[in-house]
Amino acid sequence: MKERQDLTGKHIVLGLSGGVACYKAAELTRELTKAGATVQVVMTEGAEAFITPVTMQALSGRPVYTSQWDARPDNNMAHIQLSREADAILIAPASADFIARLVQGRADELLSLLCLARPIERVPLLVAPAMNREMWAHPATQRNVAQLQADGATVLGPAAGDQACGEVGDGRMLEPAELRDELIAFFQPKRLAGRRLLITAGPTFEAIDPVRGITNHSSGKMGFAIARAAQEAGAEVTLVAGPVHLPTPRHVRRIDVQSAQQMYDVVLPAAARHEVFIATAAVADWRPAQMNAQKIKKDGKKQAPVFELTENPDILAAVAALPQPPYCVGFAAESEHLLQHAREKLLRKKVPLIVGNLGPATFGRDDNTLVLVDVDGHRELPTADKLTLARALVRDLAERLKTSA
């Protein structure tokens, strides 16, 4: 698949304050430029003790600024020119000292000066803290972070884990890929702000014995992409996932299940607390009526075992039949006659929207083609990577929710 360019057209001022996490800023610069952004690096004197301007210039492809007295700008005002050109200013790493400088409105070096001089209504400030766990937990730092947020800045992290000092706890700067995704999400329109979404994803596994079971080829990628897109759009997302090997989208609550019955038992009580239910999971229609307690062994007679099957609960239909159901979106993964089967499912499940796709053509892939089917007709979302499709679905869903309200 082609590298995603989610930050195309965005100009980011990346500020580095003093801290060992400056080593992550090198990879962060690469991640941002690969995502399409132009990156202008600005470094404090402390940052130069950990990583060189030469390294950051090589990775960003632009001269690095370190001094408020830099005469390269035509007006000799680097703090004005750099801040006016930016779509956002990202401080990563942001040390405890630099956070305090921001809160106090200090302006005695270039990076804090350009943060103070930025047009606050159109150039957002994002801050990625990086410090020792005791420094992060200190009341002074917590007061400063709270004031920074009250002043309109967005604080990204920190994470917990091993620290350079040998201690373990909160204070690690987020990883470069995490910061890239946070920045991408920051720029996405918040079409679902305040909405609560419940999403199912992946296959289910119906056990035959302790080592075998009935499942399918669903990778969960489409459902996880929808969860990410919905969270980017401002929603509070709960993701109920069958057995898949995918990382949880940031800020999404994930509940892992195995069987269709387990998924049903999680979804039904939760559905009433959500405004939207998106049933992306490829739930097995049938399960063995009884699971064997031990592995079924060959008996040497070349006679295959016979299993009695029983029908699994219909999760989507059950949610749609609740006294006050959420807005329900079903998925139809078909092998043929997609429109016909999707429309039949729409009517049978009594839901407002079915998203159809050809299962064998999409399971495990990074791209897909979707058809949106409702009572008025159908509309195709042309082939694209699954995150692009998920964002298109979120846009469509946001409009439908406005209409239904």
State the pLDDT at residue 347: 87
pLDDT band at 117 (very low <50, low <70, confident <90, very high): very high
**Contact indicator for 45, 71 with CB cutoff of 8 Å:** no
Q: For residue 329, list its beta bridge partners.
A: 278, 353
What CA dihedral angle connects 204, 283, 225 and 256, to 10 degrees? Answer: -40
User: Catalytic residue positions?
Assistant: 165
User: Does the structure show a pLDDT above 90 at 235?
Assistant: yes
| Stretch 239-244: mean pLDDT | 96
| Stretch 210-218: mean pLDDT | 87
User: Domains, the chain, ranges and CATH?
Assistant: 11-187 (3.40.50.1950), 196-293+304-404 (3.40.50.10300)
| pLDDT single digits (tens) 252-279 | 999 999 999 999 999 999 999 999 999 9
**Contact indicator for 45, 18 with CB cutoff of 8 Å:** yes
| Stretch 196-208: mean pLDDT | 94
User: Does the structure show a pLDDT above 80 at 71?
Assistant: no
Q: In this structure, what token pair is assigned to residue 279?
A: 């049933």
**Contact indicator for 163, 137 with CB cutoff of 8 Å:** no
State the pLDDT at residue 73: 78
Among the ranges given (71-75, 284-288, 311-315, 372-376), the one the predictor scored with the smallest mean pLDDT: 71-75
State the pLDDT at residue 21: 95
pLDDT band at 302 (very low <50, low <70, confident <90, very high): confident
Q: Is the dihedral of CA 127, 133, 138, 142 positive or negative?
A: positive
pLDDT band at 349 (very low <50, low <70, confident <90, very high): confident
| pLDDT more than 70, % of the chain | 97
| pLDDT more than 90, % of the chain | 68
State the pLDDT at residue 363: 67
| pLDDT single digits (tens) 81-99 | 888 899 999 999 999 999 9
User: Residues 281-290, buried b or exposed e (16+ Cβ, 10 A)?
Assistant: bbbbeebbee
User: Does the structure show a pLDDT above 60 at 1?
Assistant: no
| pLDDT single digits (tens) 129-173 | 999 999 999 999 999 999 999 999 999 989 888 777 787 888 899
Mean pLDDT of the chain: 91
The predicted model scores a pTM of 0.90
